[in-house]
Amino acid sequence: SIAILLYMARKFKTPDHWYPSDLQKRARVDEYLSWQHVNIRGKGSKLFLTKVLLPLLTGQPLPPEKLEGVTEELNIVLKQFEEKFLQDKPFIAGSEVSLADLVALVELMQPVGAGYDLFEERPKLAEWRRRVEEAVGKQLFQEAHEGILNIKNL
């Protein structure tokens, strides 16, 4: 949860870039963390649920028109994310990775795990992903997402 992440950042005095002490940078992190619940998380989870979990539970594939609608909803918020939060910066809060970037990428990995490569036709988003992975460490990133990226093996 976001509340736990913020608590841990404060309690364990993590490096400043994760949850910046600079008020403007912190406001950007907080803004994204508030926005993402019904946008990136909401639309990304919806695609994951409708494309993977519902067919798994019902034994029925999702009607293509339903999947198209859910995918379009996600595409709209991805465009907003790029335009409003990434803009022309390396990371959401500026030049360093933050909790906002970490939360964003984790949420975006659900649709990827469902087989929707949302980075494929979005070079700005793909470059941002690469930077976040490098900041976290590629091996740790892969370990953390192993389960979601192999969900189709159920």
pTM higher than 0.85 for the full model? Answer: yes
The band of 154, judged by pLDDT with boundaries at 50, 70 and 90, is low
Indicate whether 14 belongs to any domain.
Answer: no
What is the rounded CA–CA span in Å between residue 123 and residue 85?
Answer: 15
Number of Cβ within a 10 Å radius of residue 102: 19
**pLDDT tens-digit profile of 63-117?**
899 999 999 999 999 999 999 999 999 999 999 999 999 999 999 999 999 999 9
The CATH number of the domain holding residue 90 is 1.20.1050.10
Range of the domain at 63: 1-9+21-153
pLDDT score of 62: 82
Residue 65's pLDDT is: 92
For 11-53, write each residue's pLDDT tens digit: 999 999 999 999 999 999 999 999 999 999 999 999 999 998 8
68 in any annotated domain? yes
Q: List the end-to-end C-alpha distance of the chain, in Å, as a whole number.
A: 26
Give the number of domains in the chain.
1
Distance between CA atoms of residues 145 and 55, nearest Å:
22
**C-alpha to C-alpha distance for 148 and 140, rounded to whole angstroms:** 14
